[in-house]
Amino acid sequence: MKLVNPANKRRFKILVVGTGLAGASAAASLAELGYAVEAFTFHDSPRRAHSIAAQGGINAAKNYRNDGDSVYRLFYDTVKGGDYRSREANVYRLAQVSLNIIDQCAAQGVPFAREYGGLLANRSFGGAQVSRTFYARGQTGQQLLLGAYQAMAAQIAAGGVTLHNRADVLDIVVKDGEACGIIVRDLLTGEVQAHSGHAVVLATGGYGNVYYLSTNAMNCNVTAAWRAHRRGATFANPCYTQIHPTCIPASDEFQSKLTLMSESLRNDGRIWVPRSMDEARAAADVPEADRYYFLEEKYPAFGNLVPRDVASRNAKTMVDQGLGVGPLRNGVYLDFADVIARDGEAVVREKYGNLFDMYERITGEDPYRSPMRIYPATHYTMGGLWVDYNLMTNVPGLYALGECNFSDHGANRLGASALMQGLADGYFVLPYTIGDYLAPKLGSAPVPVDDPAFAAAVAEVDDRTRGWLAVRGTRSVEHYHRELGKIVWECCGMARNRTGLEKALTEIPALREEFRANVKVLGSADTTNQSLEQVNRVDDFMEMAELKVRDALHREESCGGHFREEHQTPEGEALRDDENFAYVAAWDWQGPDRPQELVKEPLEFKYVKLTQRSYK
């Protein structure tokens, strides 16, 4: 690994796109090393990034609880949890640096939960058999993000980072095969600008909003990653999506997003539906004999604590069979009556008070009196831009960090591991690896922004953006986004099959065509225009969705978040095909008129033994 001399680092300009956990930690750390960093966010402030919404916690193999945790165990759990579809080497490094992350964040003043002796508290999370999760109440993501944001703010004040806010990145510029800059639209003035650097770092999050309804923030999008893909960066495993079982069901067709409630609720709540489709009684009046505790009956050993994908799929099966509950019959009950009777309301309030309050605020129902209604929703995307061990995409000079890349979670992410990976990439991986690419470039100036490559890209972005105003169609951007979401959720959601996926492959291009011909965007391109911001993003989702479905169709196995109904055990569990599918599916852009080509990166397991997951 080549190094850049400390005195020479300031001669390299690095563009960091996105200021969530991965982006802010990378921008701060690179600037501390002396690099000249420019950071870009479409938000009004870096602190708004969606990392802020993570509730549960962050894993680290500190073994502070003396319960036998180790770097090796965290590594092993993560590879197994990912259903053996991640790269061993990357995951091992992640487990190693998990230790440094906690040290770093504690030193920044992140107010982690503490024991009375002043030392750090831990909890067990997401079915892990050791207590390795560090947390700051139910706001761990917020506190870690503020830590990274503040570290970046210090560098902004010191001059190491130049921040561009309300700057929407709409293209990546590649010249002579190397990434050399980005095209940005100023969301206040509409001005399209070129920015040039020695390297470009994308930390732009996941693509969960391809489903329209998800737990992602409204503005989360795939645009920067997708535009990089169109410029040659391969996109890996787009079919891997994590569905979270405990979200509040949609209340009406105007629902804009779904709210996640901590999975910890499943520790004490019992999940059930009425045995009869015609059940008309209120939940509390349904006698035991008429209740179907489907998880407890099917999985006696794990019961309501089966992994996220298993719990989610079973809830969907119930709703699909017409046993759903609530006004729209789109949920299942999560019932706390037993634990309230056993431990008393005060104990339950102490444990889950905040979550119960949040549920009541959103639904108007009191979960102490009637059961909660829950339903799964898209939460996290394991796929993303393909990167090598150094987090560089196949386009030299272009890096992808955090949820934006594909590397560490395989086909399924364990709870409390997203924050860990984002910060690992930003604080402790990229600062070491980027020098290897930059060192040979010492003395070369970045490509000037008046280069024809930039001028062409600026014109393209400007034309594309203004083009939407000229369509003058009849339906809003939201309408098309919602329609796309319905197709993707129905055909490529919790459970997939060939017929559905093939149907989606005809419906998505048809919808995309209609969208491009009939979308209605009002206003001007020269001021703040939220419809215009959104239309570019939905356009990219329209293309991305098709690749996602193709990836799901080609992967003739079930693994983690990807469940193909044709490939299941007699008990209805995911059936992997390690013989034929133990690889990363990376898709290579072939131009707008030809489908992407599949490039396979074989996965070799030297340390982890491949087994079938079982929760019976």
Partner 1 sequence: MSVGNGAGNGHPATLRLKLRIWRQAGPDEPGAFLDVDAHDIPEDCSFLEMLDIVNERLIEDDVEPVTFAHDCREGICGTCGVMINGRPHGPEKATATCQLHMRKFRDGDEIVIEPFRAAAFPVVKDLMVDRRAFDRVIESGGFISAPTGTAPDANEIPVPKDVADFAMDAAACIGCGACVAACPNSAAQLFTAAKLGHLNVLPQGQPERWRRAEAMVETMESFFGSCTNHGECTEACPKEISLDFIAVLNRDYLKAKVKNRRLASQT
Q: Does 153 bind partner 1 (CB under 8 A)?
A: yes
Report CA torsion sign: 434, 440, 444, 447. negative
Q: Does 116 bind partner 1 (CB under 8 A)?
A: yes
Q: Does 328 bind partner 1 (CB under 8 A)?
A: yes
Single residue of 70, 165, 354, 433 touching partner 1 by CB under 8 A: 165
Q: Does 578 bind partner 1 (CB under 8 A)?
A: no
Our CB check for partner 1 shows the closer of 153 and 538 to be 153
- We find the least distance from the C-beta atom of residue 474 to partner 1, in angstroms, to be 9
Q: Distance between the two ends of the chain, CA-based, in angstroms?
A: 47
Single residue of 32, 69, 309, 539 touching partner 1 by CB under 8 A: 32
Single residue of 522, 571, 580, 616 touching partner 1 by CB under 8 A: 522
What angle, 0 to 180 degrees and rounded to 10, lies between the N-to-C axes of helices 21-33 and 140-158? Answer: 30
Single residue of 111, 300, 344, 396 touching partner 1 by CB under 8 A: 111
Please give the DSSP secondary-structure letter assigned to residue 117: T
Q: Which residues pair with 585 in a beta bridge?
A: 600
Catalytic site residue from 132, 270, 308, 550: 308
Our CB check for partner 1 shows the closer of 149 and 515 to be 149
The total of other beta-carbon atoms located within 10 Å of residue 517's CB is 9
Single residue of 70, 433, 531, 568 touching partner 1 by CB under 8 A: 531
CB 598 within 8 A of CB 587: yes
Single residue of 12, 29, 170, 294 touching partner 1 by CB under 8 A: 29
Q: Does 150 bind partner 1 (CB under 8 A)?
A: yes
Q: Does 159 bind partner 1 (CB under 8 A)?
A: no
Task: Assign 174 to helix, strand or coil.
Answer: strand
Our CB check for partner 1 shows the closer of 190 and 560 to be 190
Our CB check for partner 1 shows the closer of 365 and 588 to be 365
Strands (E) in 364-510, as ranges, are 372-381, 384-385, 398-400
- We find the least distance from the C-beta atom of residue 11 to partner 1, in angstroms, to be 20
Residues 356-415 that bind partner 1 (CB under 8 A): 358, 361-366, 369-371, 373
Per-residue b/e over 172-191, b at no fewer than 16 CB within 10 Å? bbbbeebbbbbbbbebeebe
Residues 462-481 that bind partner 1 (CB under 8 A): 476, 478-479
Single residue of 59, 122, 131, 143 touching partner 1 by CB under 8 A: 143
Report CA torsion sign: 301, 302, 304, 307. negative
- Report the distance separating Cα 91 and Cα 73, nearest Å: 11
Taking the CA atoms of the chain, what radius of gyration do you get in angstroms? Answer: 24
Q: Catalytic: 308? A: yes
Residues 188-227 that bind partner 1 (CB under 8 A): 188, 217-219
- We find the least distance from the C-beta atom of residue 185 to partner 1, in angstroms, to be 15
Q: Does 255 bind partner 1 (CB under 8 A)?
A: yes
Single residue of 252, 579, 593, 604 touching partner 1 by CB under 8 A: 252
The total of other beta-carbon atoms located within 10 Å of residue 364's CB is 8
Q: Which span (9-17, 21-29, 65-73, 305-313) binds partner 1, by CB under 8 A?
A: 21-29
Sequence-separated (6 or more) residues with CB below 8 Å from residue 467: none
Under rule CB under 8 A, how many of the chain's residues touch partner 1? 101
Q: Does 598 bind partner 1 (CB under 8 A)?
A: no
Single residue of 3, 72, 115, 571 touching partner 1 by CB under 8 A: 115
- Report the distance separating Cα 161 and Cα 569, nearest Å: 53
CA nearest neighbour of 495 among 567, 434, 598, 447: 567
Between 58 and 97, how does the x/- string for binding to partner 1 read (CB under 8 A)? ----x-x---------------------------------
Between 280 and 319, how does the x/- string for binding to partner 1 read (CB under 8 A)? xxxxx-----------------------------------
Single residue of 509, 520, 568, 613 touching partner 1 by CB under 8 A: 520
Q: Does 326 bind partner 1 (CB under 8 A)?
A: yes
- We find the least distance from the C-beta atom of residue 364 to partner 1, in angstroms, to be 5
Sequence-separated (6 or more) residues with CB below 8 Å from residue 208: 214, 215, 216, 220, 241, 378, 379, 380, 381
Single residue of 9, 11, 13, 43 touching partner 1 by CB under 8 A: 43
- Report the distance separating Cα 12 and Cα 3, nearest Å: 13
Q: Does 102 bind partner 1 (CB under 8 A)?
A: yes
CA distances from 237 to 206, 224, 544, 583, 603 (A): 12, 17, 12, 10, 13
Q: Which span (84-92, 301-309, 383-391, 423-431) binds partner 1, by CB under 8 A?
A: 423-431
Strands (E) in 104-164, as ranges, are 133-134, 161-164
CB 380 within 8 A of CB 242: yes
- Report the distance separating Cα 187 and Cα 523, nearest Å: 13
Token pair, residue 428, equals: 């402790």
- We find the least distance from the C-beta atom of residue 589 to partner 1, in angstroms, to be 29
- We find the least distance from the C-beta atom of residue 70 to partner 1, in angstroms, to be 16
Q: Does 451 bind partner 1 (CB under 8 A)?
A: no
Q: Residue 464 — φ and ψ, nearest 5°?
A: -60, -45
- Report the distance separating Cα 247 and Cα 266, nearest Å: 12
CB 340 within 8 A of CB 250: no
Q: Does 120 bind partner 1 (CB under 8 A)?
A: yes
Task: Assign 120 to helix, strand or coil.
Answer: strand
Q: What's the burial of 133, exposed, middle or buried (CB within 10 Å: 0-12/13-18/19+)?
A: buried
Sequence-separated (6 or more) residues with CB below 8 Å from residue 180: 173, 174, 196, 197, 198, 200, 397, 446, 447, 453
- We find the least distance from the C-beta atom of residue 101 to partner 1, in angstroms, to be 9
Residues 483-512 that bind partner 1 (CB under 8 A): none
Q: Does 3 bind partner 1 (CB under 8 A)?
A: no
Q: Does 332 bind partner 1 (CB under 8 A)?
A: no
Single residue of 5, 67, 72, 103 touching partner 1 by CB under 8 A: 103
Our CB check for partner 1 shows the closer of 49 and 233 to be 49
- We find the least distance from the C-beta atom of residue 294 to partner 1, in angstroms, to be 15
Residues 256-275 that bind partner 1 (CB under 8 A): 256-257, 259-260, 274
- Percentage helix, strand, coil, to 5, in the chain? 40, 20, 40
Token pair, residue 487, equals: 């197709």
Q: Does 56 bind partner 1 (CB under 8 A)?
A: no
- We find the least distance from the C-beta atom of residue 118 to partner 1, in angstroms, to be 3
Our CB check for partner 1 shows the closer of 191 and 571 to be 191
Residues belonging to the active site: 308
